[in-house]
Amino acid sequence: MTDPRDVLSRPARPADFTLRYGEHPDQVADVRLPAVAGAPLVLFIHGGFWRSEWDRAHVGPLAADLAARGYAVATIEYRRTGQPGGGWPGTFSDVASAAVAVPDLLAKEVAHRGLLPVSVDRPILAGHSAGGHLALWYASVAPDAIGGVVALAPVADLVRAYELDLDDGAVAALLGGAPDAVPTAYASADPMVNLPSTVRTVVIHGAEDPFVPVAISRAYCQRARRAGDDTTLVELAGVEHFAVIDPESAAWPAVLAAFGTVTRGEAVPGD
């Protein structure tokens, strides 16, 4: 049987170029471009429970596949826990800075290189696991700047994730403690309590995910819809945590459908 983690180390087409949105070595974004003009821009935020052990390299296969299908993809790096400036609020300010700066930087770089133009207005924000959390969080902070969200197995409820002790204290490491110890951080950082976002959102989650329980996405999507958001949950039977970022997995068509939904308004099967 194939190891689901194989995607984390699978070689991928190299980035066409890397943009720098800040002075820190991790304030960068790798860009992969399609061979079409006017491609929609996807800002993708990688997962890894916000920890420095994981970086953007492992979503190379995802980014390369999306680029081959007509999307311009910028995979955002950011400061993470375990390194100076990571956690609250640095991780969050990095994502916000990247979301603001990268589209303009990309448009200028493409023009400078004489490459086909990219549609950078109101990009799609997407992410996996911890990156899915950050995508949902930023959509609630700056909804008018985002064209839609695709959240893959997101940690959409930080209080519940803390209670479940996901990845041995990952949420406490991110925010600096328990919900009752740093309530302001949780109130600001938790997508579950910052609804509605008003952004068209598709959440994809495997029913057999052992790292981020699908019940978190069920609860988030239910609350988002009750708040008035256009939010769809696509729950995939028999799918675990990493299949949703693997272009070679059976889950990948559902992921592609989600991007079609938020970029072109195509129908997507959901709950």
For the chain, 271 residues long, give each residue's pLDDT as a single digit of tens.
568 889 999 999 999 999 999 999 999 999 999 999 999 999 999 999 999 999 999 999 999 999 999 999 999 999 999 999 999 999 999 999 999 999 999 999 999 999 999 999 999 999 999 999 999 999 999 999 999 999 999 999 999 999 999 999 999 999 999 999 999 999 999 999 999 999 999 999 999 999 999 999 999 999 999 999 999 999 999 999 999 999 999 999 999 999 999 987 766 655 5
Cα 120 → chain centroid: 17
116: amino acid identity, one letter: L
Other CB atoms within 10 A of residue 226 CB:
11
Instruction: Please tell me whether residue 244 adopts helix, strand or coil conformation.
Output: helix
Q: Which tens digit of pLDDT belongs to each residue from 21-80?
A: 999 999 999 999 999 999 999 999 999 999 999 999 999 999 999 999 999 999 999 999
Element (H, E) at 161: helix 158-163
Return the H-helix or E-strand segment holding 73: strand 72-76
What's the predicted TM-score (pTM) here? Answer: 0.97
What is the model's pLDDT at position 4?
A: 85
Could you give the 3-state DSSP secondary structure of residue 264? Answer: helix
Query: What phi and psi values does residue 44 have, to the nearest 5 degrees?
Result: -110, 130
- Check the CA dihedral 204-271-261-140 and report its sign: negative
List, in order, residues 6 or more apart from 216 with CB less than 8 Å away: 154, 155, 156, 157, 160, 161
